[in-house]
Structure formats: structure tokens, C-alpha cells
């Protein structure tokens, strides 16, 4: 392992998401074996970081470096991720009478999705810890991102992906020099294959929330939402949830910014949007013990939402409950119509996952759970260009 140099981060330790057991940041860790839950990074609450310090900083997620887990700046593997645009959907806002409607557009990240954030943090920390071989089961976008960041870092990369994923997700992995393995099934089947391939422990497994640092990269969306809205958070955030890192990460960012004194409450209601083809969060909210046996997962055109058994389910449920939010599922026909509508009205070809949040919003406005006068933020997590096969 490389010697770690002087920290510039405020990170102090990893902690089990369920109990208080600590794990060192300077060793390779995966998840909290004490409770079979994810590990989360803790930061020193006594250090000061003023939001005015951000003004002169680089236009990437690494502007929040004190609140990211890398010790030595030299280990950062960056392709320019983060600081994505946040702007009003003005035509939809006026057509539907929801005047304060905003989108954060993650499609402009490297490799065309928000996965770049988490993978930049994970690969940077992996580099710092001397890791040279990574593997990941993926619904698509995380695989492409890992392939690109491993290429930049000079690491070997293996991606395990469902065979039915649109061609571009597969081609990009190969272009970036990764080994691509296709599996019949969904991401949980890819996870089984990954475990088989890694039975000798020769790879570092970057699976969602079984690796502690992707969450830290994803949380920067929360920091940016606050900064870009001049520290006045929305009333409601709709997020397309699969494994849940973005949802959990944005909430973690809000909590951290409260303790930094950057924002004050109330915090937004967090809404998890899923596809009716695979909506485990809805079942988990009803029965947190037995949800795994309550449904049969099917593929969806919003590939990233087909995550039947998320490892971070307990954390997602906690965020939804704590924020006063909820989960909602929309069907694939609606999602496809949403992609087309947003392309034709707003000139944005967004990922089906992002379009699902728009359709969910309309249901919630109609049902009275969201009022038309509220400030609403939709998260578009990726580019629609990679999914065109799903529309053929």
C-alpha cells in the first residue's frame, strides 16, 4: 500500500450505517460486517469550512474536497464530473401550471450520467489505497463510468452487465478497454457472477454501497443543488432510485451542510421514483422485513431502475421517512412518453430514469401530495442518447 500523505479532507473515519462501529479510512474496506449494512464516511464537525471559500474553486465536484474522502490531492482521478446545470423547465412549467419547476441535468457528466461522480470518488480512493483491479455489476451507466475512470487511473476493469442492455452501454466499456461480461438477467444476477469471478478476492468490487466512497461522490449533487439555488433548497426533490446512492447521498449532503452552517431547514421531501416493472421500495415501505418476497422483478426501459434487492434499502427507507417523502412507481409506457415530451418541449433528450420523475410529479400534483406552488426539483440522472435502442 502507498504511504498516505497529509490529509486535506475533514474525513475522520468510516462508520457502520446501523451501529456506531468505526472502520479506518486508511485500509481497504467494503461494507460494515458488524450489521451487514453500508459504511458511511464521517467528517470532523469541529473544523470550519465557509461556503464563501467555494467562490474561487474549480468547476467540478472536487470543489467540496474537504467533504470528500481523499487524503492526497494527487490521487484524485477526475474527468471533469459535477457542477452540472440546474435550470427551470420553463415550458413544462407554464404548460402544466407548476411555476417553480427545475431540473438538475446530470447527462452532461463524463460518460453521460451521474455515475461519474460516485465512480470518480471510488476510483480516486482506490488509487490512494493501492488498488489496481476493479470489477462491478451494473445496470449500464456505472459500468461505462468505471471503465472510463479506470482507464484514466491505469487500472484494470471488468464490467458485468445484463445482456439486454442497449448496445451503447456495452460498446463504451470496450472502447475504454474494460473486460465486458454479459449475463442473462438483472443486476442481481450480475452481482452473483461478479462474486463468482472474484471468489479469490483478486478484484476490488465497486458494487453500489458495498464500497463506501461512491456515496460520497454522489452526495455532491446535494451540495450543488444548495449552491446553485443560492442556499434555498426546493420543497420537493424527485429522484429515480435504483440502488439508492443518489437519494441517500443527497440527504447526507443536506445533513452535512446543516452542520457546516451552510443551510437551515426545513429540508426537502425526498421522493423515490421507480418503474412499475421493478419497484422494491414501494414494498419495503409497506413491510421492511419481508419485502424481498413480495414481487417479481422485470426489466424496464429505465435500465438503472431495475435493481430488485438494493443493499442500501434500510437507508433509503430511512431517508424517505425522515424527509416526509414517499415512493411512487410509473409504467414503461408513461416513461417513454415522458422522454419524448421533454425532448419535444424542452429540447432535452433525457434518460428514461429522469423522465420517470416528470411523470411521477404529474401523478403527485394530481393526487394533491405536491402543491402547484411548491418549488420542485427533478433529477435527470443520465443522457437519453445511450438508450435509443430501447425506443427502436
Q: Which residues bind ligand PLP (CB under 6 A)?
A: 113, 115, 139-142, 208, 240-246, 304, 351, 353, 381-382
Least gap, CB of 19 to ligand PLP (angstroms)? 24
Q: How many CA atoms lie within 13 A of 157 on its CB side?
A: 32
What angle do helix axes 313-323 and 245-260 make, rounded to 10 degrees? 50
Which CB, 71 or 193, lies closer to ligand PLP?
193
Using the rule CB under 5 A, which residue among 4, 7, 18, 189 binds Zn ion? 18
Least gap, CB of 104 to ligand PLP (angstroms)? 12
**Alpha helix (H) residue ranges in 137-244:** 141-153, 167-175, 187-197, 214-228
Only one of the segments 17-25, 132-140, 189-197, 313-321 lies at the binding site for Zn ion (rule: CB under 5 A); that segment is 17-25
**Phi, psi (degrees; rounded to nearest 5) at 342:** -70, -35
**Phi, psi (degrees; rounded to nearest 5) at 123:** -70, -35
Q: Point out which residues pair with 159 in neighbouring strands.
A: 136, 180
Q: Per CB under 5 A, does 388 bind Zn ion?
A: no
Q: Per CB under 5 A, does 241 bind Zn ion?
A: no
18 binds, among ligand PLP, Zn ion, none (CB under 5 to 8 A by kind): Zn ion
Nearest residue (beta carbon) to ligand PLP: 304
Cβ–Cβ < 8 Å for 265, 233: no
Least gap, CB of 20 to Zn ion (angstroms)? 8
Long-range contacts (CB closer than 8 Å, 24 or more residues apart) made by 335-343: 335/275, 335/300, 335/301, 335/302, 335/359, 336/301, 336/390, 336/391, 339/384, 339/387, 339/391, 341/92, 342/89, 342/92, 343/384
Least gap, CB of 288 to Zn ion (angstroms)? 17
Which CB, 32 or 157, lies closer to Zn ion?
32
Q: Taking CB under 5 A as the rule, which mask of x and - marks residues 25-64 in contact with Zn ion?
A: -------x-xx-----------------------------
Cβ–Cβ < 8 Å for 15, 39: yes
Least gap, CB of 230 to ligand PLP (angstroms)? 26
Which CB, 69 or 140, lies closer to ligand PLP?
140
Which CB, 71 or 143, lies closer to ligand PLP?
143
Least gap, CB of 243 to ligand PLP (angstroms)? 3
Least gap, CB of 295 to ligand PLP (angstroms)? 17
Alpha carbon separation from 8 to 4, 43, 66, 73 (Å, rounded): 11, 12, 6, 8
List Cβ neighbours of 18 (8 Å cut-off, separation of 6 or more). 32, 34, 35, 37, 314
Least gap, CB of 54 to ligand PLP (angstroms)? 24
CB neighbour class for 377 (10 Å; exposed up to 12, middle 13-18, buried from 19): buried
List Cβ neighbours of 116 (8 Å cut-off, separation of 6 or more). 79, 81, 82, 109, 110, 145, 148, 149
Least gap, CB of 17 to Zn ion (angstroms)? 8
Cβ–Cβ < 8 Å for 218, 246: yes
240 binds, among ligand PLP, Zn ion, none (CB under 5 to 8 A by kind): ligand PLP
Which CB, 31 or 213, lies closer to Zn ion?
31
Spacing of C-alpha 45 from chain mean position: 25
Which CB, 222 or 242, lies closer to ligand PLP?
242
Say how many C-beta atoms besides its own lie within 10 A of residue 100's C-beta: 14
Among 335, 115, 139, 325, CA closest to 236: 325
Which CB, 1 or 34, lies closer to Zn ion?
34
214 binds, among ligand PLP, Zn ion, none (CB under 5 to 8 A by kind): none
143 binds, among ligand PLP, Zn ion, none (CB under 5 to 8 A by kind): none
Per DSSP, the three-state class of 74 is: helix
Cis peptide before 266 (omega within 30 of 0): yes
243 binds, among ligand PLP, Zn ion, none (CB under 5 to 8 A by kind): ligand PLP
Which CB, 215 or 237, lies closer to Zn ion?
215
Which CB, 260 or 339, lies closer to ligand PLP?
339
Binding positions for Zn ion, rule: CB under 5 A: 16, 18-19, 21, 32, 34-35
Amino acid at each position: 500500500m502507498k504511504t498516505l500523505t497529509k490529509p486535506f479532507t475533514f474525513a475522520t473515519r468510516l462508520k457502520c450505517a446501523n451501529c456506531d462501529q468505526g472502520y479506518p479510512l486508511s485500509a481497504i474496506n467494503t461494507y460494515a460486517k458488524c450489521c451487514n449494512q453500508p459504511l458511511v464516511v464521517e467528517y470532523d464537525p469541529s473544523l470550519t469550512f465557509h461556503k464563501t471559500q467555494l467562490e474561487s474553486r474549480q468547476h467540478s465536484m472536487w470543489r467540496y474536497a474537504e467533504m470528500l474522502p481523499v487524503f492526497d490531492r494527487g490521487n484524485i482521478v477526475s474527468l471533469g464530473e459535477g457542477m452540472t446545470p440546474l435550470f427551470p423547465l420553463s415550458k413544462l412549467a407554464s404548460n402544466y401550471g407548476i411555476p417553480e419547476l427545475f431540473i438538475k441535468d446530470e447527462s452532461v457528466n463524463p460518460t453521460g450520467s451521474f455515475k461519474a461522480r460516485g465512480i470518480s470518488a471510488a476510483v480516486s480512493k482506490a488509487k490512494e489505497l493501492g488498488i489496481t483491479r476493479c470489477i462491478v455489476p451494473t445496470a449500464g451507466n456505472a459500468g461505462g463510468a468505471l471503465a472510463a475512470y479506470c482507464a484514466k487511473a491505469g487500472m484494470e476493469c471488468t464490467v458485468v452487465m445484463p445482456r439486454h442492455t442497449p448496445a451503447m452501454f456495452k460498446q463504451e466499456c470496450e472502447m475504454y478497454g474494460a473486460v465486458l461480461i454479459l449475463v442473462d438477467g438483472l443486476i442481481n444476477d450480475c452481482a452473483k457472477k461478479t462474486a463468482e469471478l472474484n471468489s479469490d478476492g483478486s478484484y476490488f468490487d465497486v458494487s453500489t454501497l458495498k464500497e463506501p466512497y461512491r456515496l460520497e461522490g454522489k452526495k455532491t449533487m446535494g451540495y450543488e443543488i444548495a449552491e446553485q439555488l443560492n442556499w434555498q433548497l426546493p420543497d420537493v426533490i424527485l429522484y429515480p432510485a435504483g440502488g439508492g446512492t443518489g437519494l441517500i447521498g443527497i440527504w447526507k449532503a443536506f445533513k452535512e451542510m446543516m452542520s457546516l452552517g451552510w443551510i437551515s431547514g426545513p429540508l426537502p421531501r425526498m421522493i423515490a421514483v421507480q418503474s412499475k416493472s421493478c419497484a422494491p421500495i414501494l414494498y419495503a415501505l409497506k413491510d421492511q422485513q419481508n419485502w424481498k418476497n413480495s414481487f417479481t422483478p422485470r426489466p424496464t426501459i429505465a435500465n438503472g431502475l431495475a435493481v430488485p434487492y438494493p443493499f442500501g434499502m434500510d437507508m433509503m427507507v430511512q431517508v424517505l421517512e425522515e424527509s416526509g417523502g414517499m415512493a411512487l412507481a410509473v409504467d414503461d409506457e408513461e416513461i417513454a412518453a415522458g422522454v419524448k415530451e421533454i425532448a419535444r418541449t424542452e429540447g432535452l433528450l433525457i434518460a428514461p430514469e429522469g423522465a420517470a420523475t416528470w411523470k411521477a410529479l404529474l401523478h403527485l400534483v394530481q393526487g394533491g401530495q405536491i402543491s402547484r406552488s411548491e418549488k420542485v426539483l427533478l433529477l435527470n440522472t443520465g443522457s437519453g442518447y445511450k438508450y435509443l435502442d430501447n425506443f427502436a
